[in-house]
């Protein structure tokens, strides 16, 4: 019965033999360039995967901040309207009109 370590060693030996066969077929410089290219590919894949996950996190943070700004804008307009009506000052209709029709971003 073969152990998992023995199977892994056999796979490594198979890959080494495949590389050596490639080096014999096309020449060592070309085979080394292919191996180097594969290494660069793996490195770029690893770096881009981490950058992509960071961008997704930042996108979520930006979306939450945008919702917060929309909520604060609606609250400021509401407070401005209440203070204007309490002091019997004409409210800024243009400001209210610009915010009209926008949905409230709060989730309460």
What's the structural domain count of the chain? 1
> Within a domain: residue 108?
no
- 19 or 72, greater pLDDT: 72
**Cα–Cα distance measured from residue 96 to residue 90, given in angstroms and rounded to the nearest whole number:** 12
> Within a domain: residue 104?
no
> Within a domain: residue 14?
yes
pLDDT at 77 over 50: yes
**Cα–Cα distance measured from residue 29 to residue 3, given in angstroms and rounded to the nearest whole number:** 36
% of the chain with per-residue pLDDT over 70: 83
- Kindly state the helix (H) or strand (E) to which residue 7 belongs, with its residue range: helix 4-26
Give the residue numbers spanning the domain of 33. Answer: 4-99
> Within a domain: residue 105?
no
> Within a domain: residue 18?
yes
Which 3 state secondary structure label does DSSP give 68?
helix
> Does pTM surpass 0.85?
no
Q: What is the pLDDT of residue 13?
A: 78
pLDDT in tens, 19-69: 788 788 888 888 788 889 999 999 999 999 889 888 999 999 999 999 898
């Amino acid at each position: 019965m073969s152990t998992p370590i023995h199977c892994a060693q056999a796979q490594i030996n198979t890959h080494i033999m495949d590389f050596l066969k490639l080096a014999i077929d096309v020449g060592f410089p070309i085979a080394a360039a292919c191996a180097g290219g594969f290494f660069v590919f793996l490195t770029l894949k690893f770096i881009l995967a981490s950058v992509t996950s960071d961008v997704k996190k930042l996108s979520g943070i930006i979306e939450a901040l945008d919702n917060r700004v929309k909520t604060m804008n609606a609250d400021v307009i509401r407070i401005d309207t209440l203070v204007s009506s309490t002091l019997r000052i004409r409210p800024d209709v243009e400001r209210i009109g610009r915010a009209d029709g926008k949905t409230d971003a709060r989730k309460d």
